Amino acid sequence: MYVGADYYPEHWPQARWKTDAKLMREAGFNLVRLAEFAWVFLEPEEGRFTFDWLDEALDILGRNGISAVLGTPTAVMPAWVKEKYPEVMATRKEGHRVNWGIRKNNCFSSGAYRLLSERITRAMAEHFRQTANVVGWQTDNEFGHPYCYCDSCRREFQAWLRRRYGTLDELNRAWGTHFWGHRYGEWAEIVLPDDEGGHNPGLCLDWHRFYSWLNVRFQAAQVRILREVCPQHFVTHNFMGTFSELDYYDLAADLDFVSWDNYPVWGAPAVPYGASLAADAMRGLKKRNFLIMEQTAGPGGWGTFGRNPRPGELRKVCYQQLAHGADGQVWFRWRTCTAGREQYWHGLLGHDGRPLRRYREAAQVAGEYHRLAAAVEGTTVKADVAMIYDYESIWALRIQPGYGPVGGSNFHAAAQRYYDACFRAGVNLDMIRPTDDFTAYSVVIAPHLYVLPDPVARALADFVAKGGVLLTDCRTGVKDGTNLCHDRTLPGLLGDALGISIEEYEAIPGDDKDGYAVIGQDDLPGAFTARHYCDWITPRKAEVLAGYERWHMKPYAAVTRNRFGKGTGYYVGTLCEEPAFYDALIADVLKRAAVKPVVAPPAGVEASVRQARGRRLLFLINHTEETKTVTVPAGGVELLTGRPSRGSLTLERYGVAVIKLK
């Protein structure tokens, strides 16, 4: 199991390197990431490579039993690149190039930048392919910015569209350019959408697809070189959880596994539901475990900084990720930098380089991880419940939110409501793409599946007919794959599976302080508050689980449940303010699907199960500053203490437990 830190030897005197390596070894570290921002130190002038300093750093680390992941350093170009090839700088919407001096400021369509990227990647690969303690590569760093509006990107976009649509007639049809008379007669007439609020929605959605493709193509060139020169090394990239400028499924496709950067410690202490959702999304990209490439190590910030992790908090942050599929983790960073923009992005060591509290807590985690390695090896999360995580719906909802602005139709906010309720119920989820096979799951949750091509709708209906339980909600099935509205009564092809029709809908005004009262009944009891949006649902065959109190809404349902074939389809036509609404709804969904969690965790405690053939490990994480008691299956062994589990387990503040179940 890899445990370590992101290390920047170029930031410190060479005389310090041996001290750093010794402290890492004593902490139980066995991995560092190096060089992802070191291009100018590796190629100080075009075509002249200087690898000797990195050779020395790697040698010192290797003699201390520490392996390395090398980053291709293309996220920050040297000054000589922008001076010699000014066209590599990204262009803003206003038409001027960005200033050099920050990171992530290149144009991904620039031929010069792509060639320079491939050259430094090949030079590094050829030099370090036989270095004994280099085990893998990270491509670039946190792909995702910037959007570029230069002439090169415009020409590339036009060529990409030509390959996608074949003819202008098909593009005009797909985008509905008869509206406002925006029909294209030549490919060269197509513009870049510098205002998503005003441009054609089909154009805007394809612009997101194209920009994602540019990043995927840029990475693919590096991956090809690394696979050719260093076939014995793994290749990964550090993703950013729920960052959504790129289609991460596509970016992950040619990597060995996904890594990601986890920074959940901001603001007041709270249950980090979002970090669990992000972990499941990262595991879902390739349906395999992942590595944490950057883990919270201290207060984060550039100009200002956040709070310091409480004692024990760094440890429980790590265990949350281990519980959801991490097979190792690397803290960002080793030592807090004394220069540059990230002087206040704190590491395990402070500016003074002394091994204090955060270092000691990291060493505790490293020791525990190594003790757990044999038990954890080969295990992963196997869920009965899946959530569809769809980048095209995310983009299309950004282009036309439909309701808002505060609390508008944000895909992530919608997904998080259902996810949090599953978290509180102690149920694991897989995050899947809309085109995945649903048959491995008992429940599929499809929040705000705004872009719903017909094949996906038919697959979901078939899933229900054959015995699955589908939970979906408002704004599902509005658009087709080209961002045109379906010319059908909502919810379109899901109408029979859900047993409803939606002939009208509305945004609830933001100045309506009371919202719309929702009254649940039968299996969804309670009084709730609808905010932001509501469908006017007419049940056809479906049962009504909740309705509205407002006079104009009394004829319509807020929540329905429908038997269809061997399965059940749920529809939620609004957004309820109270978490208790989602808890009650998910409880009914799980009951219908016969999904039973291993434990029913108390508030603030997270439960997750990793398993392999013949082994099941129950992870429990107390995210609160209070002592919690959890009812657990008897007959197992708590691996961190060696004590048998006897039906009840106490977790101190930020406490964790790993139980090998009988």
**Locate tokens 């309506």: which residue?**
512
Q: How far apart are CA 24 and CA 32, in angstroms?
A: 9
**Locate tokens 């085990």: which residue?**
135
Q: How far apart are CA 442 and CA 448, in angstroms?
A: 20
Q: How far apart are CA 481 and CA 207, in angstroms?
A: 14
How many CB atoms neighbour CB 83 within 10 A? 9
Phi-psi region at 656: left, alpha or beta (left = phi > 0; alpha = psi -120 to 50): beta
> For 312-355, where are the alpha helices, taking DSSP H only?
313-323
Which amino acid appears at position 556 of this protein? Y
Q: Provide the pLDDT for residue 510.
A: 85
CB-CB contact of 516 with 550 (8 Å): yes
Q: Provide the pLDDT for residue 242.
A: 97
Structure tokens that stand for 406 in this block: 């505060």
Which amino acid appears at position 402 of this protein? G
Signed CA dihedral, 645, 649, 652, 656: sign only? positive
The average pLDDT across 311-331 equals 98
Structure tokens that stand for 284 in this block: 């879902």
Q: Provide the pLDDT for residue 394.
A: 97
Q: Provide the pLDDT for residue 180.
A: 96
Signed CA dihedral, 81, 85, 86, 87: sign only? negative
Q: What is the pTM of this model?
A: 0.97
Question: pLDDT of 109-148, one tens digit each?
Answer: 999 999 999 999 999 999 999 999 999 999 999 999 899 9
Q: Provide the pLDDT for residue 208.
A: 98
For the chain, domains (ranges, CATH) are 2-150+199-376 (3.20.20.80), 385-593 (3.40.50.880), 605-660 (2.60.40.1180)
Residue 628 pLDDT more than 60? yes
Could you give the strand order of the β-sheet that contains 605-612, starting from the edge strand earlier in sequence?
605-612, 615-622, 656-660, 637-638, 643-644
- 412 Cβ neighbours under 8 A, 6+ residues apart: 242, 244, 394
Residue 534 pLDDT more than 80? yes
For residue 406, name the pLDDT band (cuts at 50, 70, 90).
low
Percentage of residues in the chain with pLDDT exceeding 90? 97
Q: How far apart are CA 527 and CA 515, in angstroms?
A: 12
The average pLDDT across 565-573 equals 98
Question: pLDDT of 541-560, one tens digit each?
Answer: 999 999 999 999 999 999 99
Between CA 283 and CA 288, with CA 285 as vertex, the angle to 5 degrees is 45
Q: Which residues are catalytic?
A: 142, 294
User: 179-202: string of b/e by CB count within 10 Å (b at 16+)?
Assistant: eeeeebeeeeebebbeebeebbbb
Q: How far apart are CA 331 and CA 600, in angstroms?
A: 31
User: 34-59: string of b/e by CB count within 10 Å (b at 16+)?
Assistant: bbbbbbbbbbeeeeeeebeebeebbe
Residue 81 pLDDT more than 60? yes
46 to each of 107, 119, 123, 554, how far by Cα in Å?
Answer: 19, 10, 12, 72
Structure tokens that stand for 580 in this block: 């208790």
Which amino acid appears at position 57 of this protein? A
What are the backbone angles phi and psi of residue 40, rounded to the nearest 5°?
-65, -25
Q: Provide the pLDDT for residue 408.
A: 60
- In the predicted model, what is the mean pLDDT of the chain? 97
The average pLDDT across 462-466 equals 98
Q: Provide the pLDDT for residue 405.
A: 64
